[in-house]
């Protein structure tokens, strides 16, 4: 490990590279005709930030020679070399602690976990070494580091590779937690995360890597950057607000299409960031629609949806015309069997039923055979 550390820290503990200043674009217009996969969006964001700032480096298991377990780092080793694209041993605690130390010394490491389930091996460094150092040093220590990788359920990989850690990390002061849904989110938020002076947990979704989404010319500009802490209204509506993040945004949009055919106008909010949480956008929407459905893959107890519900009760309770509905994963470790796995995570029909309940529309009751 010390050999790897010597590669990325210059003699005397001074960063071997300079500092860049780049203006950021915080919006995008309509997408036009171009499309990009989430994988390519992440790859291009990493490439552009590494090109713009020599202090940015990528490290993790199989990020170099194998070009990433999900090919997010494809081509980066050839372009930037082994000093900046570093293949590590299978020791999350080791290379995460090393990366935090590099951030202390002015570098900007991007740490890739093959799955965020494996970040449990490194959680002491993420929470105690990264998240708390700026506060405990009275602002003298900055920790510009990104922890990224797939989070939540994939398909057929069992309980130890399927957990959503959004609520875990979002509960910790000192961290910023971002949750991209589409390609524009992936590019703009990863760039923002790398440029940020604080530690950022960047939760991707394995099943979205190969998905293609429309992307605007603005989002393809190298200066493009999305603001941290700002949600996006993906679809406007007037009858019910549906709040989701990551893969569940797509499910919420599908549910909104179905509801529209039945005369229910649903507003869909893509959180993009869950710490900081854009409470203002959520509350403004609920004050318009008077109803709320939250959707997440994580466990129901102490979840992101629970925090959103608390915010609505505290700030907009008098605007509610129906109880808030929470759609979450089942309160069990993820089953391995495909039929049980589907039952353990939210589906589009679950969102449709919940939205109908808030609008007091009749929902057919299943009859046992």
Of 48, 49, 61, 92, the active-site residue reads: 92
Q: Does a structural domain hold residue 155?
A: yes
Listed residues 159, 194, 220: the one ending a domain: 220
Element (H, E) at 284: helix 279-289
Residue 161 sits in a domain whose CATH number is 3.40.50.970
Q: Does a structural domain hold residue 363?
A: no
- The whole-number pLDDT of residue 263 equals 95
Q: What is the helix, strand, coil percentage profile of the chain, to 5?
A: 40, 15, 45
Write down the residue that tokens 């997408």 correspond to: 31
Q: Does a structural domain hold residue 366?
A: no
Q: Does a structural domain hold residue 27?
A: no
Listed residues 159, 191, 220: the one ending a domain: 220
- Asked if residue 89 and residue 197 are part of one domain, the reply reads yes
> pLDDT by residue (tens digit) across 115-124?
999 999 999 9
161 noted as active-site residue:
yes
Listed residues 191, 220, 249: the one ending a domain: 220
Q: Which residues sit opposite 176 in a β-bridge?
A: 200
Rounded to two decimals, what is the model's pTM? Answer: 0.89
- Asked if residue 124 and residue 83 are part of one domain, the reply reads yes
Q: Does a structural domain hold residue 142?
A: yes
Query: Quick check: helix, strand or coil at residue 277?
Result: strand
Residue 337 sits in a domain whose CATH number is 3.40.50.920
> pLDDT by residue (tens digit) across 154-198?
888 888 888 999 999 999 999 999 999 999 999 999 999 999 999
- Asked if residue 238 and residue 148 are part of one domain, the reply reads no
Residues of the chain with pLDDT under 70: 1-32, 362-369
Q: Does a structural domain hold residue 128?
A: yes
- The whole-number pLDDT of residue 158 equals 83
- The whole-number pLDDT of residue 361 equals 84
- Asked if residue 327 and residue 247 are part of one domain, the reply reads yes
- Asked if residue 236 and residue 207 are part of one domain, the reply reads no
- Asked if residue 180 and residue 315 are part of one domain, the reply reads no
- Asked if residue 149 and residue 77 are part of one domain, the reply reads yes
- The whole-number pLDDT of residue 367 equals 46
Number of structural domains in the chain: 2
- Asked if residue 239 and residue 204 are part of one domain, the reply reads no
- Asked if residue 179 and residue 79 are part of one domain, the reply reads yes
Element (H, E) at 274: strand 273-275
- Asked if residue 178 and residue 109 are part of one domain, the reply reads yes
- Asked if residue 216 and residue 236 are part of one domain, the reply reads no
- The whole-number pLDDT of residue 343 equals 92
How far is 152 from 160, CA to CA, in rounded Å?
Answer: 10
Range of the domain at 133: 2-15+35-220
- Asked if residue 177 and residue 90 are part of one domain, the reply reads yes
Q: Does a structural domain hold residue 40?
A: yes
The region that residue 12 occupies, defined by phi over 0 for left and psi between -120 and 50 for alpha, beta otherwise, is: left
How far is C-alpha 120 from the geometric centre of its chain's CA atoms? 17
Q: Does a structural domain hold residue 185?
A: yes
Query: Quick check: helix, strand or coil at residue 184?
Result: helix
- The whole-number pLDDT of residue 96 equals 97
59 with 36: CB under 8 angstroms?
Answer: no
């Amino acid at each position: 490990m010390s050999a790897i550390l010597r590669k990325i820290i210059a003699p005397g503990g001074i960063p071997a590279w300079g500092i860049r200043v780049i203006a950021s674009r915080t919006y995008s217009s309509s997408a036009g005709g171009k499309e990009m996969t989430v994988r390519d969006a992440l790859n291009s964001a990493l490439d552009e930030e590494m090109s713009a700032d020599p202090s940015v480096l990528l490290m993790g298991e199989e990020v170099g020679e194998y070009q990433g377990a999900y090919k997010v780092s494809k081509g980066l080793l050839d372009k930037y070399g082994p000093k900046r694209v570093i293949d590590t041993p299978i020791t999350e605690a080791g290379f995460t602690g090393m990366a935090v130390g590099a951030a202390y010394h002015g570098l900007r490491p991007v740490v890739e976990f093959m799955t965020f389930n494996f970040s449990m091996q490194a959680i002491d460094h993420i929470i105690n070494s990264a998240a708390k150092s700026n506060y405990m040093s009275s602002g003298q220590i900055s920790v510009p580091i990104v922890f990224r990788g797939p989070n939540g359920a994939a398909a057929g990989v069992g309980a130890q590779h399927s957990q959503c850690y959004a609520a875990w990390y979002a509960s910790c002061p000192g961290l910023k937690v971002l949750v991209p849904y589409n390609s524009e989110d992936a590019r703009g938020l990863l760039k923002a995360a790398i440029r940020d002076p604080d530690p950022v947990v960047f939760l991707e979704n394995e099943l979205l890597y190969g998905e293609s989404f429309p992307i605007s010319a603005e989002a393809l500009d190298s200066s493009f950057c999305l603001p941290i802490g700002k949600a996006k209204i993906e679809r406007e509506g007037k009858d019910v607000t549906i709040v989701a993040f990551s893969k569940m945004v797509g499910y919420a949009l599908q549910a909104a299409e179905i509801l529209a055919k039945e005369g229910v106008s649903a507003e869909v909010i893509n959180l993009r960031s869950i710490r900081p949480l854009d409470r203002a956008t959520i509350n403004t929407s609920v004050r318009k629609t008077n109803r709320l459905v939250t959707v997440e893959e994580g466990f129901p107890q102490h979840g992101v949806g629970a925090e959103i519900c608390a915010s609505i009760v505290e700030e907009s309770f008098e605007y509610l015309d129906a109880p808030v509905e929470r759609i979450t994963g089942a309160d069990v470790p993820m089953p391995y069997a495909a039929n049980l796995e589907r039952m353990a995570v939210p589906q589009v029909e679950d969102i449709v039923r919940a939205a109908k309940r808030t609008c007091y529309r009749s929902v057919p009751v299943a009859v046992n055979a």
